[in-house]
Amino acid sequence: MINRTKQIWEVGHEVKVGFLRLKVLAKVPTPGDYMPDKYLLGTRTSKEDRFYTFTPHNGIERIDKQEAERLWNENTEFSPSLAVAF
């Protein structure tokens, strides 16, 4: 969990990672591997939706929509589709 920042790293809030402005879509816990939790982030452009995973101290990685859907389905209980996250 990110706690030493002025940004709010909760689902639904917008954060800045480098020069990207992204919305936090889901928090992906990583128990047992001693790594920080991952975050599923996304942005909507005029052409397409883009999805990223962010791990503190390890960086950001762009992922495809299928991987984002998989992470979304594993880590949210209430929302049926990733499309409603935006």
- Residues 21-70: tens digit of each pLDDT: 999 988 888 888 777 888 999 998 888 889 999 998 889 999 999 999 88
How many domains would you assign to the chain?
1
Asked if 41 and 67 count as a contact pair (C-beta separation under 8 A), the reply is no
- Decide if 28 is inside a domain: yes
- Decide if 56 is inside a domain: yes
- Decide if 63 is inside a domain: yes
Query: The domain containing residue 81 runs over which residues?
Result: 14-85
* Distance separating alpha carbons of residues 14 and 85, to the nearest angstrom: 12
pTM, two decimals, is 0.80
Longest dimension (CA), the chain: 39
- Decide if 31 is inside a domain: yes
Confidence check: pLDDT of 1 > 70: no
Residues paired with 59 in a beta bridge: 55
- Decide if 1 is inside a domain: no
